[in-house]
Structure 1
Amino acid sequence: MRALFDLTAAYEPTPEQRRDAVPPVEAVLFDFSNTLFHMVDTADWLRSVGRATGREVPSEATADDLAMAAARPDVAAAQHGRDLSDDAHRAAMRAWFAQVPVLHGVEDTAIDLLRAPDAWVPYPDTADVLQALADRGVRVGVVSDIGWDIRVHARAAGVEHLVGTWVLSCELGVEKPDPTMFTTACTALDVDPRATLMVGDNPARDGGAVAVGCRAFLLPSEFRLGERGLGAVLALLG
């Protein structure tokens, strides 16, 4: 009868685990984009492209062009699997930026500036929460669908030392919700998935952690500049 009601899981708890109390959280895994860090304002990025290329890059008009280009079927199709490798991400971004008149011909410069150390910044509460977890002895990992090495942004923000492991789709060759993303992080942190909390903003991707036995906490999927609400993670841990 269980097969009629249970969700498909990538793990099978033992009979003892089914009866025992839920273990306390010993590790927290965080999504990166729009959970711990966010990209700088699009206008700021476009200004940096203009300075680097010597082109006039009107931010409002270019932002509109970016949105229209993203809606093209060929551009949308090119984004599938873009976070599986560095090369795949570059190809996807080139396909997009090539359809934006002012970025045509300088696609690689735009991509490099999108990945610049200061192009992604932490939310105001990111460092405090990561430090609080470290002070409690809670292990921390980042599990991200991303096309480049985002450690550079954490290093620039001075928080890289607070993360024990980085599991990136571009390095592993799979994306969330593939169980490998979560189990790889748990193994690296030497923690039982059942004693691990995944924090993100995408139910389909980040919520996939429950299939390996993790708990999950989902933030509202909204773009923010102020605090992200990460303090709730500390409250969940008690």
Structure 2
Amino acid sequence: MRRIPVCGPEGPIRASAEPDGPRAAVRAVLFDFSGTLFQIGTYADRIRAALSRPVDETTMDRLLSGLEAGLLDPDVVAAQRARDVSSTAHRHAFTTWYASVPELAPVADALYTQLMSPEHWVPYADAESTVCQLAAEGLALGVVSDVGWDLRATFAHHGLDRFFSSWVHSYEHRTEKPDPVLFRHACRELDAEPATTLMVGDHPAKDGDAAGAGLRSYVLPAGAAPGSNRGLDAVLRLVGLNPP
């Protein structure tokens, strides 16, 4: 047994024991949805579609600036709290935000319908190749997402549903990540031990804190545009595979 220091705010407190030897191989991988495997189309394109009319660049800049400002609106901020614990709360959170821009208020419901529509979501360029290689190597795959609707139709629309055996949607469990309930439920569905399961996402607290449920975790850096490579080749290396 080797000794691993346990540190407090002022340094090591005592040592804890950890078995010698390599860690067990990863047997299952859980993925977040938005910002990890998929990204929704641009707000500009969605606004034009919802308004069903041309929108010049000056007007679009004003509308987008209005959405940015709306994130600080007290009513919008309040609506975001626990937004992913039910489909009703999720819809309310987003439609309240869209409606904070007066010109978008009449199409707030239409913008939310887009959010649930598979055709408005774009897989990252390396999403399919990554999950395909993981599945081909026998790893069990699942989705754990803070969301207000069932994601299976979106994955099916893009031909990716066949790779996944577990779907854990926050609204169905009335809780949000990083609640261990969600991660552990996915592990049970995949018949995988948490210690041999990797959670991949883009949110340091929500996805990174899967470690609190005994999983391993990997947080992707921010900034990838829809349809671009997401850097998912790192996941292949983490589980001991060579990227294509």
Corresponding residue number in structure 1 for 2:99 = 98
Equivalent position of 1:9 in the other structure: none
The whole-number CA distance in structure 2 between the counterparts of 1:158 and 1:81 is 31
The CA deviation string for residues 133-178 of structure 1, in whole angstroms up to 9 with x for no partner, is 1110101011111122222211111101111111111111111111
CA distance in structure 2 between the aligned counterparts of 1:140 and 1:107, rounded to whole angstroms: 34
Q: In the alignment, is residue 215 of structure 1 matched against residue 216 of structure 2?
A: yes
Q: Secondary structure at the match of 1:28?
A: strand
Structure 1 stretches lacking a partner, 5+ long:
7-14
CA distance in 2, matches of 1:169, 1:189: 17
Higher RCO by CA contacts (8 Å cutoff, separation 6 or greater):
1
* Structure 1 position 18, deviation (Å): 4.2
Letter in 1 for 2:87: D
CA distance in 1, matches of 2:161, 2:85: 22
| TM-score (norm: length of structure 1) | 0.88
TM-score of the pair, normalised by structure 2: 0.86
**Match in the other structure for 1:182:** 183
Q: Distance in 2 between matches of 1:97 and 1:236?
A: 39
Check the 8 A contact 1:48/1:113 in 2, yes or no. no
Within 2, Cα distance between the matches of 1:116 and 1:104?
Answer: 19
| CA distance 1:105–1:55, change in 2 (3 Å) | farther
User: Do 2:29 and 2:139's aligned partners in 1 also have CA atoms closer than 8 Å?
Assistant: yes
Alignment partners' CA distance in 1, 2:174 and 2:186: 14
Q: Is the 8 A contact 2:48 2:54 kept in 1?
A: no
Residue deviations 1:84-132 (CA, integer Å, cap 9, x gap):
1110011112221222112213321221122211111110000000100
| Aligned-residue identity in percent | 41
More helix per residue = 1
User: Structure 1: how far apart are the matches of 2:90 and 2:145?
Assistant: 14
Gaps in structure 2 of 5+ consecutive residues = 9-16
Counterpart residue number, 2:113? 112
Distance 1:55 1:173 in 2: 40
2:77 paired residue number? 76
Contact 2:38 2:122 in 1 (8 A): yes
Matched, 1:191 2:192: yes
